[in-house]
Structure 1
C-alpha cells in the first residue's frame, strides 16, 4: 500500500509540474511547413497508392522489418507531427520509430479511405495494437487521418496525423489512465 501511495503521489506531482510547462502550439509549425513544403499533385490512384504503402509499412510495426519498411517510406528532410511528437529529419524520426517498435506488438492497420486535394493525400486509417508499459501489455485502438505530401521519389516529405490520443492511448495506460480519466473524464450521452 505504501508503494502505491508513493506511486500515486509521484504521478500527481509529475502531472502538476508538467502542466506548468509552457509548450508552443504546433499550429504555427504546421502552417509554416504546409506553406513551405510542396509535394507532387495527387490523383485518385496516387492517393490510394501512398495510403496502401503507409498502411503496409505500419502493419510491420513491432517486427524486425518495421524500421526498414518505414525508413524507405520517408524522405531525409521532412515535417511530421504524429500528435505526440514532431520531426524535421528522417534520422530523428527513425530513432522514434525504433523506440515505438520495442513497445508494441500485434499491430493491425487498415486503410479505410484515401482522398486528395492538390498535393495532399488524406489517409483515413484504423490501428489496433498491444502496447507494453510498466511490465503490462494493453490492447489499444484508434481511428485517425494522416495528411501526407510526397516528393517525386514517392517518399513522404510532410505528414500531419489527426487522431485522438486521449481515447486512443492515454485513458488506456496503466496507472496514468486512471489519473487521466479522473482529471478529464469522457462523457457520453
Structure 2
C-alpha cells in the first residue's frame, strides 16, 4: 500500500465518521459523499441495496429521533476495509419515555473509492426492545432469569 492510498483511505474513513456525527433527517443527501450508488447495507433489522433505498431507510429511522450522536471508540483499517467500534446515543419520544438510550456497536466497511459494503452489528434489544413500554419489562425479567 502506498502512502497516497493510505491517505485516501484515511480521508474516506474520516469523512464517514464526520458524516455520521452530523447526520440528521435534513442532510441525508450527504450520504452520497461516502457511499457508492450500489451500496449493500445490513443491520439487525434490514438488508438494503442501493443508495436511494438506503437514504429512504435512514429518512424513516431519523424521522422522529430527537437526538442522535455517535462516539467512535476505535478504528481498525487497511487498504480496502475498516472496522469501527462505536457507541450511539439517541432519544426517541416513544422509547424509554423519551430519555437517552445508549447502544454499543460495530460497523464493518468495505470500500474502493467509496464504501460499497456496510454491515452494522449491535444488540437490537439494547437499541429498541428493552425500551418499549410492555416488552421492555418482559425482556429485563427474562435476562434476570437467564443470569441466575
Residue 73 (structure 1) aligned to one of 19, 23, 34: 34
Counterpart of 2:22 (choices 47, 60, 84) is 60
1:111 aligned partner: 72
The secondary structure found in structure 1 opposite 2:100 is strand
Deviations 1:91-124 (A, max 9, x none): 1111111011112122121111111255221111
Structure 2 matches for 1:1-189, cutoff 5 A?
A: 43=6, 48-65=10-27, 67-117=28-78, 119-133=80-94, 136-152=97-113, 155-182=114-141, 184-185=142-143
Q: Deviations over 1:21-79 (max 9, x none)?
A: xxxxxxxxxxxxxxxxxxxxx74x555544432232222344522x1222432111121
After TM superposition, the score normalised by the length of structure 2 is 0.79
**What is the RMSD of the two structures over their aligned residues, measured on CA atoms?**
2.5
The structure number with the bigger radius of gyration is 1
TM-score (norm 1): 0.64
Aligned residues: 142
Q: Deviations over 1:145-175 (max 9, x none)?
A: 11101222xx210011111112232212233
Are residues 118 and 60 of structure 1, via their aligned partners in 2, closer, same or farther at CA, if it must alter by over 3 Å? Answer: closer
Q: Which moved more, 1:120-129 or 1:108-117?
A: 108-117
Which whole-Å CA distance do the structure 1 matches of 2:38 and 2:112 have between them? 11
